[in-house]
Structure 1
Amino acid sequence: MKSLDEQVLVITGATSGIGLSTARMAARKGARLVLAARDSAALDRLVEELRAGGAEALAVPTDVGRHDEVAALGRAAVGRFGRIDSWINNAGISIFGRNADVPLEDQQQLFQTNFWGVVHGSLVALQLMKDGGGAIINLGSELSDRAVPLQGMYSASKHAVKGYTDALRMEIEKDALPLSVTLIKPAGIDTMFIPHARNYMPHEPELPAPLYAPEVVADAILYAAEHPQRDIFVGGASKLVSLEARTMPGLLDRFMNLIMFS
């Protein structure tokens, strides 16, 4: 694993929240960046900001739910910098509401971004990095191990990301490829997560405390880019939720029903 100042990083969902913090932190550490998001204007502003600070960065507008656009992202990265050392599948969206109240079209769109975006990115990264090596880093959640009410499809997508990441890791290990595969599992993070989510409840949702800064997740992501890791919990609450989900799932159901709806 190269040090960050020798790496080329691809980051999806780079214009807000965890992706934005990761891009800025990686730029300060000297990495060369290929940044993807759907908002081309926001991408251009971010690249201008990073270049003004002396970083090398390339903006590639991308809808991660479309495999052809993710493949084009990979080609653009290799075309500009000659290789990719770490690929970070970070893009994600959420929906708040009871499963029966959320239109199927919205649920399918969420899965297209949160799950298929990870699949598309992982497959493109595998194809482009299998000879040179590096890290594939997927953003899961504390909800990769435990579902919560009112974010049913988001929870399902993060469960699916975990299952896919674990299966991909085994296949890479079986083929003895020089790739590290890491799942990042943050707790609640203080970002624009709620304003960017679609809400089918009568009131604006609120994430339960504790909330952690996105820079804490960015630090974990960049650590995984330099050090092979299987899973990284970000925030003590994430590790606690995972432990409770394994040891007392029924009790946790009742506790969440008591507090999460309010």
Structure 2
Amino acid sequence: MCRAVELRQAVLARNDETAHTLRVRLAGRGTTVVNLLSSPGSGKTALLEHELALARERSLPVAALTADLATENDAVRLARSGAPVKQILTDGLCHLEAGMLARHLEGWLPEPTRLLFVENVGNLVCPASYDLGETLRVVLASVTEGEDKPLKYPTAFGLAHLVVVTKTDLARAAGFDEAAFRAHVDQVNPGVEVLLTSVRSGTGLGALLERAEAAAGGGPVHRPVMAPPPPHTHGHPREDPREHEHPGPAVRLTSAQR
């Protein structure tokens, strides 16, 4: 048991060191990372597609990296925004790590990128333990997932800098209790802001981008009181994941960059 604990601590320490190095390096070139975590089907891809398109309308240099176990569907959708997009297929690995992110950004990230959105693997367990060098960690949950989601996944919600509720147009049909949800969020992460959004109705659209811009400009970011947990261990393979690029119209990658 002691050996297992030591191994977990070593894994997390190595990841944190890499994340710190990546954060400093990206900050030096003016890029801020926004890490998006949620369960599968929460609507984060739809929301991110809208926020990227809005950023492009405002001439704000943005890019996105999206991770999935299989298919390039999300990258294809996000590329419709016109922003440069890159897909990582994790081949079964249930989360991204700082080293993986650093490798996939090498030689790809456009130099003027102000905001880099990372759409993590759809999972609220494994990704919660891994710092990716982000400045803003956003956890999303749809109204159809229930008000007790923050209590079921206290680590994910407890370490969030911002919480976003999606699909609020379905709140009445789903019987979503907003007050209960907010109370549960505050129980695991006191003081964190909760945004209400709906891509279909337009509620709250642009708010995520505004919070990201503020963080990139050095504005205050909520500081969770929860201490990061040891990394989640599992038996998934750890091969280097495959990568695919989906550049928007403003960025074309050469074959050497693929």
Same fold (TM over 0.5): no
User: TM-score, normalised to structure 2's length?
Assistant: 0.45
Decide which structure has greater helix share.
1
User: TM-score, normalised to structure 1's length?
Assistant: 0.44
For CA contacts below 8 A with separation 6 or more, give which structure has more relative contact order. Answer: 2
